[in-house]
Every structure is written in structure tokens, then in C-alpha cells.
Amino acid sequence: CLIALIARDRVGIQDFVLLDAHNSETAFLDNLKKRFTEDLIYTYIGTLLISVNPYKELDIYTKKQMDLYMGVNFFELPPHIYALADNVYHTMLSEANNHFILISGESGAGKTEASKKILQYYAVSCPSSTLLDTVRDRMLMSNPVLEAFGNAKTMKNDNSSRFGKYMDIQFDCQGDAVGGHILSYLLEKSRVVHQNHGERNFHIFYQLVEGGEEDLLRHLGLEKDTKHYSYLVQGECSNVSSINDKNDWKTVKNALSVIDFDASDIEHLFGIIASVLHMGNVHFDGDTKGYAILNSNALLGIHVQVLHEALTFRKIEAKSEEVLSPFTVDHAIYARDALAKAIYGRAFTWLVNRINESLENKDSERKTVIGLLDIYGFEVFFVNSFEQFCINYCNEKLQQLFIQLTLKSEQEEYEAEGIGWEPVQFFNNKIICDLVEEKHRGIISVLDEECMRPGDATDLTFLEKLEEKMGNHPHFVTHKLADKKTRKSLERGDFRLLHYAGEVTYCVVGFIDKNNDLLYKNIKDVMRLSKNPIIQECFPATEGDSRRRPETVATQFKNSLLRLMEILTVKEAWYVRCLKSNDNKQSGKFDEVLVRHQVKYLGLMEHLRVRRAGFAYRRRYEVFLQRYKALCPATWPHWRGVPAEGVEKLVQHLGYQPDEYKMGRTKIFIRYARTLFATEDAFEICKHELATKIQAKYKGYRAKGEFRKQKEPTILSQSKARHNRFIKGYTTRCEAKSTDNSEYLAFVRQSYLNRLKDNLPKTVLDKTTWLTPPPVMTETSEILRQLNTRMMVRKYVRGITPQKKAQLQQKVVTSAIFKGKKDSYPSSIAVPFVDTRINEQDINTRVLQTIHHERIKYSVPVVKYDRNGFKPRPRQLILSQAAVYLVEEAKIKQRVDYVSLKGASVSNLGDSVMILHVALNDPKQKGDLVLQCDHLFEALTKLAMIANKQNNIKVVQGSIKFEIQACKEGGVDFSTGQEPMIYKGKNGHLMVVAPRVKSR
């Protein structure tokens, strides 16, 4: 217990939010150093993960470690990148929304490695199948390919990403990784043709030359020695002890095959890499006029005439015509390098697109994604050029997004929980972002203007324009604008920006050329003649047809960066901040000055202040209660009520003061770290007390076990005796009850009753469910069955409403009249009757005034057929308490007293025709009514019940006679057919054709 309580002092605090001196940078660094010394390279600030590069292998990335962190509460285990990855994954699944993980830090801080670890974790932790394994293999194998073509050794890092990479991993609703997509940003193409001292070109060049097979190199015209290639020796460090190009070559070739590149694609891709190397060995001589001519000895099989035209002449417009103008030697070298950069840059874009094709998921169902942003860290070299300017601008934008999203998420959490928000002071770097990207005023706009204006624009004229427009900006200074002291550290061709991470001096040399990055038109034309299909795809025939000048590199990068910001702002953000422990890549060394600088420019102190915002700790009630419930008798071992009430009971028992905590809607907020530490210390003590109780319980369990072992022979003997009695009882079960079978028969009775209890019929109509009883229970079973039936009947009757009862009574009458007699009766059973089919407001007012004293009981629309011509007439049939009325709008066409109603007749078929027979006591009395009613069963049932004529409704086969008037009869003939019809027949009868009913 004592060791557990003092461990915190030795290894530091796992979450900086719990740091008492959270405003102290010194305390922050001291905690980082404590943990780093113990090889604890991960620390949290809330859900943000800080990772300090140890520059050595640590045994914390095994399959066992992955299993340990799968599905575990984020703060339950020590900080780890697997914990972050798992929490992002399960949050995505539970909330069904999109997330991204922003991995940032200096070059060499371990960003690329962090990205790999997250990908590897998802590859192991996600569900597995043949298809899903293929997708995951391709995602994993895209890493070594992109590193080979996009990473290089720099002064600070042997595997520095020289491009930005954003990868979306797509998951379906089951959490399966089903696809992916990669976006790349600003490949450092200038590295293809130039490297600083101590740096290398992209890895793939060295891997091909050092690791390529003899046949392949011979086919490509290459030699197995990097010193033969001008583009590979400028940094004077082709061979690096920490890089094994031969092994990496095998890894890349294997990865390309896994990603589904065919042999032809791979051959053409390496052909492009070889062509770039050959391009670097092309040299130029000057003729007598100073114009460039090719040294053909260096062409190595390239067609001399074509390359000569491409690299020694340029097309220019003269009097609306295109003519060839010769290059100077400098122009030719520029054209050669521009072509090499263009070929490599476009091939890299093609490569990313091909990888995306292999990762594409064509299923149109909605996907959730987790994005991984592994982008260049803030860079400060001895000489900083256009590339560093773009990279650092990118980091400014990400820092701006980081602060916005952090503040937004924290403020939203406080508001959602009903906790007062305390404003946090932080440096808003929008002023620096505007300095770089503002329209018409920013550095990129000024650079673009210089690139596009007529005349001789140079890097120095660009610098002069910057001085004109930004002379008073607090974050911009040049040699001309600086004071005397600052001027000493600035060259005349430099400008200095005060970034959020500190000052960076940029040399403007090369800014114009690198921003233009243009190819002469005739060079593009020559590229389209290439037989390499990748080159043809990278230089399409439609390109360049437009007269509009293409966007500059800086503008392209700014626009792609803005699109990236749009992608990120609609996703939930998670952060991994990578720190370099020292500049010498030395294990165990913690350079406090260097780490302090990174902590400052990564904004970690601001993030901590935002995260604290008055409260050191916040957890959901369920999580807090689950962990600390053992500290309060009222909540241990189980709290049955609302979690918030349980937490309130718990903290009151622990003696929390009102100013130490607040209760939100779903979480508890604890203000001071010391409050939580006191709780945690009490929990450590409690755990040991619980362990003692568990030990006591276990010892008791062991003692009981020993007792059972000693008692076992007696139990076995008793069991055997019971077994024998059971067998004897079974064999004598049919005999009269005796000592031998009484116990068995009791068992049979009990067993039958238990089974019967679980298998009783559910309805009165269920006649088959009742279990067949054993002979000894036959009489009892019958009594129980009758009782159960009576109980179900009683329950059913009590549950019938007055409305339902009336319905059933009507249906009983209908059944008595029509069941088994009329074909359409079975289909009417399930159709409930209604009180009336015509509301009183739909009956004419004059009719209502005439018959209102008789009280209308039921109304229904009918079609009345004339007695002589059988012409159909729409009418309303109204049943009152005293008579039947046939109504046409405002006129009562016929009234039949129930006394005069002899009865009604219908056919046995599926038609809806009925004849109401009227007693003709008066010569003026109209005859019988021939009616067609869609609700025949309902109408006749209502009539039978109101007029008490149940016995007067007849179902007739064939024909029905009716009286037209006294002593004059008519007839209705019924038959079946395909379609229902009613018409006057040649015999003068009304012919009714009813549809055939399949079964009665």
C-alpha cells in the first residue's frame, strides 16, 4: 500500500490536468522529465496525448499490450497511444460520427512512428475477415511506399516526411475497416535536384540503386553506386548507418505487390525514378554565342534530337506565332531541373492516386471515418527557404485550428453540463496567419504578384515589395526595417517572421522560381511522346490548352490547406503532440531547453489552462461511482439508484467541501487535484482492506472445500441409497401406493406440476398445449385443466369493453344469419362494424327535420335499382327506431314501417345485392326495394336487430322474386363470373354476376 501511494512522486502524474501547479512551466517540465526517466514516454492533458521520443526501442507495442487496451476505459490504464486509438474508435462507433487524430511536432519528434502505431493497432483490434484483412494490409503497406517516395534524411531526422499526409480510414456500422483515402500536401520537389550538406534525396533513389536486382539495374541503365549520380551526392551522405537501403528496397517491392500494383506498373514506376537520375547527369556546354548545347555523351540512350529541342530551346510567342528561342546554359540547367522535379512530383501524385484506388470502398452505404493527419512539423534550419516557409505556415494554421477546437469543445462541455465557464487567456495566432495568407496584402499574395507581373521580377524585388506592404507589422522584420541590434543577425536577402513557435529567418533566394515551378510548353509536348504510360497519364494532352496561367505553388498549397481545414472542422478532434527529447537522437537524454521550447510553441500550457478552466477533473457519474463506490457503505457493493445521487452520497461521505466540486448534468467536476489525490489514496487503502477480506473469504472457501472432501463418502453413500429407492419406485409405479413407490410417485407429481406450470395454454382456444399427465395425475390434471379454462374465460370476459361487447353481439347475429350460407361471409368476419356510415351533417336538413323524432340508428350509402327498368340510382338508406327510409338528397323516396317490412333476401354468392320485401296493404304502397350495398352484412345485421327481423332474412340460391306492385312480380337472377356485373337481362330480370370466391 505504501509503495502504491508514493509511486506518484517517483513517476510523476499521468494526466497534467491533475498537476496542482498547472500554470507553472517548470512544474510541467519536471513532471515530463520524471516520467521520461522511467521510460514513461506518454502523458495526458485530458484526452490530448503527449509523446516524448525516447530514441530507443521500448517493449510497449506488443500484441499483449494491444489486447490490454482494447475496450478499456480511457483513464483506466496508464497513458498510451493505444488508449487514444481505442477511445477514438469506440467513440466513433457509439456516436456514429467522424473523428480525426492530429499528430504534430518537430521533425524527428516521432510523428510518423505514432501514425504507424495507430494504424497497426486498428489492423489488430478491428474485426477480421479475408476482405477486411486485404484492406488493412493495403493500408499498412501504403506506409513504407509513401515513406520511400516522400521521406528523406534531413539534418534533424533520418526519416523525415517531406510531404503532408492525411489518411481517412473508413469503417462500416459494425466497426470493420472497409476502405481508406489519402490526401497529400506540398511534396518538397526541390529535394529531387538539390540537398543541403548532411541531407539526402528521397529514400527511393538510394533503395533502387543499392537494393535493385542486377537485371533491373541493367534494364534501367543504372550502376550499383550512388556516387555516379549528381542528384544523390550533393549532401555528401549517401550512406547512413541507421538506414538499410537494401532491406527497405525489399519492403517497398513487397508493399507494392500487396497494394495491388501489377508488374507493368512497378516496371514503369521505377523507370521514371531511373529517368530522373539520368536527367541529373545531363550536362550542357556553351557554344560561341553562349547558347546551351547538349553533351550527348550523357544521354544514355535518350533520343538526342528530342531532348535537345526540349532542354536547349524554349517556345516563345512572337507576333502571334510560336518560335523556338535558344537557352543559355543557366536556362538549360533550370529547364532540366524543372523537368526532373515535375516528373517526380507528378509521379508521386499518380502513386497516391493508385494507392487510393486500391483502398477505395465502392459500397454506397454511409461510412464513419477516423482521419490521421501526419504532417510536417515546425522547421527551423540554418538556412530556411520556400519549403520551410510553407511548412511553418501550415503549422500556424493547425495551431489556430487546435486552439479553436480545444476552446470550443471545452466551452461546449461546460455549457452542456451547466457549469460556469471561466475565460482563458491564450495567444491568438490569427495575426500571423493573416500576415501570410490575407488576400492582396499577405506574403503569398505579394509573392504571386511578383511571379506574374511583367518585367524582370527577382527574389530581391519580392523582398522590397514585402518591405513596402508589411513595414509596420509586429511579426515581420527585414535587414532594412530592423533596428541596429537586430540588423546584425539579418542578411540583406532575408526576412524574419515571429511565429507562435518563435522567430524564423527565411532566405528569399529561390522563392520566385520555386513558387512558379513552371515547365516550358515544348518540354510538356516532349513528355507526351513518352512510351511510359505513367508519364502519359501525368502529362495529359489536354493540359495547357487554356490561356489561363496555372496557380502558383504557394496558392495551391494555401487552397489545399484551407480545404484540409474544412475537412477537419466537421470532425471530432483528438491530438497527439510529439516532442523531441534532444537534438542528438541520444537515448536517455532530456534536454530541458529544447523541450521547453517545444512545449511553448505547441501551445501545451495554453491547452492545459483551457482544460483546467477551474476544474482539474471531470468524469461521468457512472465511471466515478464504479471506481470509488467501495469508499462509502451506502454505495458498496451495489448502488441501485440514479448514478448522480450515488455520487452525491459518496462525496458527502468523503467530506468534500462545496467549493471543491460541482455536479453537472452527467458528470462530476472536481476543482482541485489534491481532492482527487486524497480520494485516490483512500481508494488505495480501501483496496488493500478489500483484498484482506477477499483473502479471508478465500480461506473460508478452501476450508469448506476440505470439509466437503471429508463429507463426500457419506454423501455418495446417501446418493446411492436414494438412487436405489428411485429405481424400485419406478418399477412399482403402476401398483398401489406403498412404502416402495410413495417417494417416486411424489416426485412424479411434483415434476408434472412444475412442467405444467411453465406450459399452460395462453388462450381459451388453445386445446393442444395441455401436457399429457402420468397415470397417477390423470384425475387431478383434468380438474386443473377445467379450472384453468374457467380462469382464462373469466379473464377474457372481464377484459371485454362495452364497445367490444356490442361488436361481438352484432357479429353473433351476422353469424346466425349468414354463416355457411353466403360465399362472402368469411371475408367479412375480420372487418369490424361501425355505428353509422353517414354522419348526420351529411344528411339533408329537411330530411332530418322530418324524421328527427324517430331517432336515426344507422345510415349507409346504397344503389337502388328501379323496379321496372332497373336503372341504378344512388340513395341513402336510413334506419330509424320506427322505419326504413330511402332518401334522395332532400327528398324521402320511400318509407317502410318495420311492421310492413316482411323481410329481406340475398343470394348465396359473393355479391352485395339485397331485396327488402314490403307488405302491400295499400294499392298506393310502393313495392319491394332492390338495393346494392357495399356494407351488406353490416346493414342487414343492423336492420335485423333494430326491426327484430333476424328470422326474416333469407339466403336464396338462383333467383329471387320481388313484388313491383300489387299482383305484379319481377325477378333477380344470380350467377358467378370473372368480373362483377349488374344489368337488365333479355328475360326482363335483373342479372347479377358475382365474382367467384376461391373457398368458403
Q: Which residues are catalytic?
A: 107-108, 112, 157, 160-161, 377, 379
For residues 484 and 477, give the distance between their C-alpha atoms in angstroms, rounded to a whole number. Answer: 12
4 annotated as belonging to a binding site for a ligand = no
Q: Which helix (H) or strand (E) holds 601?
A: helix 592-601
For residues 608 and 612, give the distance between their C-alpha atoms in angstroms, rounded to a whole number. Answer: 6
For residues 31 and 15, give the distance between their C-alpha atoms in angstroms, rounded to a whole number. Answer: 10
107 annotated as belonging to a binding site for a ligand = yes
For residues 54 and 109, give the distance between their C-alpha atoms in angstroms, rounded to a whole number. Answer: 9
DSSP state of 639: -
For residues 239 and 246, give the distance between their C-alpha atoms in angstroms, rounded to a whole number. Answer: 11
Taking each helix axis as running N to C, give the angle between helix 553-569 and helix 443-452, from 0 to 180 degrees, rounded to the nearest 10: 150
- Which are the contacts of 72, defined by CB distance < 8 A and separation ≥ 6? 83, 86
- Which are the contacts of 827, defined by CB distance < 8 A and separation ≥ 6? 997
CB of 277 closer than 8 Å to CB of 210: no
For residues 681 and 480, give the distance between their C-alpha atoms in angstroms, rounded to a whole number. Answer: 62
Query: Strands 572-580, 48-53: parallel, antiparallel or unpaired by DSSP?
Result: parallel
For residues 198 and 155, give the distance between their C-alpha atoms in angstroms, rounded to a whole number. Answer: 6
CA-based nearest residue to 391, from 569, 232, 514? 514
CB of 534 closer than 8 Å to CB of 350: yes
Q: Which residues pair with 830 in a beta bridge?
A: none
In the numeric block, the cell 446411492 is attached to 720
Q: Which helix (H) or strand (E) holds 886?
A: strand 883-888
112 annotated as belonging to a binding site for a ligand = yes
3-state secondary structure of 714: helix
Q: Write the burial class of residue 173 (CB in 10 Å: 0-12 exposed, 13-18 middle, 19+ buried).
A: exposed
Question: What's the grid cell of residue 870?
Answer: 332497373
- Do you find a cis peptide bond into 637, omega within 30 degrees of 0? yes
CB of 234 closer than 8 Å to CB of 195: yes
CB of 625 closer than 8 Å to CB of 647: yes
869 annotated as belonging to a binding site for a ligand = no
Query: Strands 990-995, 981-984: parallel, antiparallel or unpaired by DSSP?
Result: antiparallel
For residues 618 and 92, give the distance between their C-alpha atoms in angstroms, rounded to a whole number. Answer: 21
- Which are the contacts of 133, defined by CB distance < 8 A and separation ≥ 6? none
| Amino acid (1-letter code) at residue 752 | Y
706 annotated as belonging to a binding site for a ligand = no
Query: Strands 42-45, 48-53: parallel, antiparallel or unpaired by DSSP?
Result: antiparallel
For residues 877 and 912, give the distance between their C-alpha atoms in angstroms, rounded to a whole number. Answer: 14
Question: What's the grid cell of residue 446?
Answer: 505579394
286 annotated as belonging to a binding site for a ligand = no
Q: Which helix (H) or strand (E) holds 983?
A: strand 981-984
111 annotated as belonging to a binding site for a ligand = yes
109 annotated as belonging to a binding site for a ligand = yes
Q: Which residues pair with 876 in a beta bridge?
A: 861, 887
- Which are the contacts of 914, defined by CB distance < 8 A and separation ≥ 6? 904, 905, 906, 931, 932, 933, 936, 939, 940
**Binding residue ranges:** 105-112
**Binding residue ranges for ATP:** 105-112
